């Protein structure tokens, strides 16, 4: 996304201060994570750049300006998820402007996100999961990578959560861990025995070798003994997916975790807590995935389904 072009003069100073204060509001008062704040601001910067080209400041836009920008995103082939995220970011920004009495009416009030039911999470088949988790690559960090893959599927973590995981957060004897999720909200998530064994093997062998006598609270480390980045793990995930003959996304294992739990009879509230969803409606999308699978099975096997 382009940065906000400078308009010059007092208005530019006012606008930049509003943006800085909104960033502080998200971080300090709302307690959102750095990744979430960056996503909000990136969406808004694109919108503000669009407005600036038309001589409109980031406080002076109307409902018509929002509609025009959404049409622009659609023309540029932005995905439904990207447009929905922009709407969520803009709503939060407009609520802040109202709260600070910088505007009298909320131009995003009647804004509805585009329909997303057609874009359901892609879950892997259980056989594909087995193939992925058993894939071996002749890489130095194979023990680390396979431990991370096993943990993602066994516990449904976000990639950002797994790279920030600390050893002290894991209770190896109890089979659970404390996870710091979005908005700095902590939750307790179970870990299966396979993941525990792979993590222990990684800690004893590769992690100790990487540290070379140093210490680090973080579980998964790079070759520089620093915490893994999301980008580096995504690269590793693609490598293992390619070797297993699978097309993966950063959330493939998280989606599979949720879908397979519900297919196995888990209740929605429990899955919501394990995923760390603040709103159960976010978790309910997986019931649609499972319902589609049930209908497919019915059509394939019931003699009167045709």
The residues annotated with a catalytic role in the active site are 158, 182, 251, 254, 277, 286
CA trace torsion 92, 94, 95, 98 (10° rounding): 160
CA 193 from centre of chain? 25
Backbone angles phi, psi at 221, to 5 degrees: -115, 155
Backbone angles phi, psi at 15, to 5 degrees: -65, -40
Q: Which residues contact 136 (CB under 8 A, 6 or more apart)?
A: 142, 146
Which residue shows structure tokens 């709302």? 30
Q: What share of the chain is helix, strand, coil (3-state, %, to 5)?
A: 60, 5, 35
**DSSP conformation class of 219:** S
Q: Which two tokens stand for residue 200?
A: 């222990």
Which residue shows structure tokens 């407005």? 51
Specify whether the CB–CB gap between 6 and 12 falls below 8 A.
yes
Gap between the Cα atoms of 141 and 137, Å rounded:
9
What are the DSSP calls for 80-100, one per residue?
HHHHHHHHHHHHHHHHHHHHT
């Amino acid at each position: 996304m382009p940065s906000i072009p400078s308009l010059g003069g007092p208005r530019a100073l006012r606008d930049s201060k509003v943006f800085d204060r909104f960033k502080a509001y998200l971080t300090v008062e709302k307690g959102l994570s750095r990744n979430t704040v960056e996503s909000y601001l990136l969406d808004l910067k694109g919108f503000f750049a669009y407005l600036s080209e038309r001589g409109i400041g980031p406080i002076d836009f109307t409902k018509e300006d929002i509609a025009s920008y959404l049409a622009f995103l659609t023309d540029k082939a932005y995905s439904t998820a990207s447009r929905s995220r922009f709407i969520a970011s803009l709503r939060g920004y407009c609520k802040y402007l109202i709260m600070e009495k910088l505007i009298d009416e909320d131009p995003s009030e009647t804004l509805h996100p585009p329909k997303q039911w057609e874009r359901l999470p892609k879950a892997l088949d259980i056989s594909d999961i087995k193939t992925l988790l058993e894939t071996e690559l002749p890489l130095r960090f194979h023990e680390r990578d396979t431990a991370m893959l096993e943990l993602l599927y066994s516990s449904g973590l976000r990639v950002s959560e797994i790279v920030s995981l600390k050893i002290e957060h894991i209770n190896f004897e109890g089979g659970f861990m404390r996870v710091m999720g979005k908005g700095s909200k902590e939750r307790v998530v179970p870990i299966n025995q396979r993941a525990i064994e792979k993590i222990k093997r990684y800690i004893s062998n590769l992690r100790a070798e990487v540290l070379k006598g140093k210490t680090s609270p973080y579980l998964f480390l790079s070759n520089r003994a620093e915490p893994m980045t999301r980008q580096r793990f995504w690269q590793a995930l693609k490598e293992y997916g390619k070797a297993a003959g699978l097309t993966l996304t950063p959330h493939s294992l998280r989606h599979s975790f949720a879908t397979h739990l519900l297919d196995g009879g888990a209740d929605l509230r429990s899955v919501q807590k394990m995923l760390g969803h603040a709103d159960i409606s976010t978790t309910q999308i997986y019931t649609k995935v499972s319902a589609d699978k049930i209908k497919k099975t019915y059509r394939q096997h019931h003699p009167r389904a045709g």
